[in-house]
Amino acid sequence: MPVPPLPDTRAAALQALRETPHWDLIVIGGGATGLGTALDAAARGFKVALLESHDFAQGTSSRATKLVHGGVRYLAQGNIGLVREALHERATLLANAPHLAQPLQFVMPGYRLWELPFYGAGLKAYDLLAGRRGLGPTEFLSRTAALAALPNLKRNGLHGAVRYFDGQFDDARLAVALARSAQRAGAVVLNHVAVTGLVQTAGKVVGVQACDAQGGAVFTLASRCVVNATGVWVDRVRAFSASPGQAAPAPMLAPSQGTHLVVGREFLPGGQALMVPRTRDGRVLFGVPWMGKVILGTTDTPIPAVQREPRPLHEDIEFILGEAGRYLERAPQRSDVLSAWVGLRPLVRPDADSGSGSSQKISREHVVRSGRDGLVSVTGGKWTTYRAMAEDVLARCMDEGLLERRAGGVTAHLALVGAAPGRRLSEPPGEHLYGSEADVLRSLPGAANWLWRDGAGGLSEAMVRFAVRFEMARTVHDVLARRSRLLFLDAAAAQALAQPVAELVAQELDGPVRADQVASFNALAQSYRTLP
């Protein structure tokens, strides 16, 4: 039976862009920081528009290692302030989105006698910094207890382990929850609308030019305050303000990329994560149970330029598999990889030294800069501190006189759309990810028609419909990569669903099946399956 389409809420949002003569704030970029800024500003009562050129979190913000953390390695570097802020924000995020962010136990094995007391002392300090916002006490595990926690752990030479708590989350779904929460607060939030230029008067940015990639409509939007929150593309937007023949502003970023490999749960059964504090080249390696699979990663490789769909390097894949093999009794092989994907990091270039070198030495903290043209740019940081970053952005906008001063702290206890206690995120995806909206999901056509199953969860027809009706999904890629995380979990399974998902999306949008979307998604999924 045909499903009648809903009223086109996107058309209403586009109409609002046409009819609003002036915005208090325009945010460019629909990743973690941009969405957090839009939500915070709208919650303070500002008139806000957010424009994302592709889909929410399609870039860096959907490719994290899925950890909500205070930064154990930053503690080792002596960056106490960064750790303290992140631990505070970790607790806030877990409270505001319990269906999408939850505590997780990490096991750090010790194969040399000095490792357990050394790292254990550091993790005890981590607990002290967390204080009452801690998620659970650090404890020392015997060899037997360590093997019970991680049954596939290498036995030879194992002395024991240290177990501590941090958090994990579903990054892309959290981004969508932020977008919808901003809408609920009164913001106009649109994906697939690209900012193509900045409008300037007397050398000051007073608006943006934009184009709807879905329908082709062109907009000129006015606002005294424009925030550039485009992550690894922040320098491209900053260059919009350069006059013809004028040099672009000095770059803020020295980007790097981190590779992640997804393998079956059999390599890390039990629901607890593996943390290797120091690999052979001094990096940190994680094995994280997530959505019924295991994420192994990550690397930290400087790159000369950013791409929309970055691909892993052969040497990074070999590094991850090799290091995993040093700690897992049954070591994953290249043939075991279900999906390989890359996250880009917007690392802030040091003011005094913009040269090369290890990206591990470049700042992980965020930076907010306002140019002479009045454009406010923010980059750096990490998902855990997105809310604090948003507060810093708005504080800068008010300090510069671009926004009137209004009290902050409005998002500290603001529950996001769908907030409700949920099952563990280490379990396969399912209705629990919808939190308080699970009943709405079950009321849609196809709730019992599973397109893909994984244990007690999977992807249903109703989930595709929900993605289009309520979560602003417009393409096959939007559904299978971010509303569902199937592309990141099992690229072959995602590839097999491109056509049926395209048909459901077409039904919901009351339009034709997009063969071009199917073809482009299949090519992308094949690249996630094919290791260099």
Strand partners, 288: 295
Distances (CA, A) of 320 to 261, 289, 426, 454, 525: 8, 16, 21, 25, 21
The token pair at 198 is 């900045």
Q: Can you give the pLDDT at residue 357?
A: 37
Taking each helix axis from N to C end, the angle separating 498-509 and 461-470, rounded to the nearest 10 degrees, works out to 40
Instruction: Tally helices (H) and strands (E) across the chain.
Output: 17, 20
Closest CA to 64 of 386, 530, 305: 386
DSSP state of 384: G
Q: Can you give the pLDDT at residue 270?
A: 86
Q: Can you give the pLDDT at residue 261?
A: 98
Instruction: Tell me: cis bond preceding 385? Omega within 30 of 0 counts.
Output: no
Q: Can you give the pLDDT at residue 59?
A: 92
Strand partners, 365: none
Closest CA to 223 of 250, 205, 245, 243: 205
Binning pLDDT at 50, 70 and 90, where does residue 74 land?
confident
Residue 358 has pLDDT above 50, yes or no: no
For 358, what's the count of Cα atoms within 13 Å in the CB-facing half-sphere? 6
Closest CA to 41 of 29, 54, 26, 30: 26
State the Cα–Cα distance between residues 494 and 126, nearest whole angstrom: 39
Per-residue pLDDT of 208-236, as tens digits, reads: 999 999 999 999 999 999 999 999 999 99
Q: Can you give the pLDDT at residue 362?
A: 39
- Which amino acid is present at 167? G
Q: Can you give the pLDDT at residue 145?
A: 98
When pLDDT is averaged across residues 265-269 and rounded to a whole number, the result is 96
Q: Can you give the pLDDT at residue 415?
A: 98
Per-residue pLDDT of 115-169, as tens digits, reads: 999 999 999 999 999 999 999 999 999 999 999 999 999 999 999 999 999 999 9
SS (H, E, C) 44-73: CCCCEEEECCCCCCCCHHHCCCCEECCCHH
Residue 348 has pLDDT above 90, yes or no: no
Per-residue pLDDT of 361-419, as tens digits, reads: 334 588 999 999 999 999 998 999 999 999 999 999 999 999 999 999 999 999 999 99
Binning pLDDT at 50, 70 and 90, where does residue 3 land?
very low
Q: Can you give the pLDDT at residue 356?
A: 35
Per-residue pLDDT of 288-346, as tens digits, reads: 999 999 999 999 899 988 899 999 999 999 999 999 999 999 999 999 999 999 999 88
Higher pLDDT, 343 or 347: 343
DSSP state of 292: T
492 three-class SS: helix
Percent of the chain with pLDDT over 90: 83
State the Cα–Cα distance between residues 30 and 63, nearest whole angstrom: 14
Closest CA to 9 of 472, 416, 511: 472
For 415, what's the count of Cα atoms within 13 Å in the CB-facing half-sphere? 9
DSSP string, 164-197: EEEEEE-HHHHHHHHHHHHHHTT-EEESSEEEEE
Closest CA to 100 of 465, 429, 381: 429
Binning pLDDT at 50, 70 and 90, where does residue 250 land?
confident
Binning pLDDT at 50, 70 and 90, where does residue 254 land?
confident
Give 116-123's long-range contacts (Cβ < 8 A, gap of 24+): 116/140, 116/159, 116/160, 116/161, 116/162, 119/162, 119/277, 120/162, 122/72, 122/75, 122/76, 123/72, 123/162, 123/164
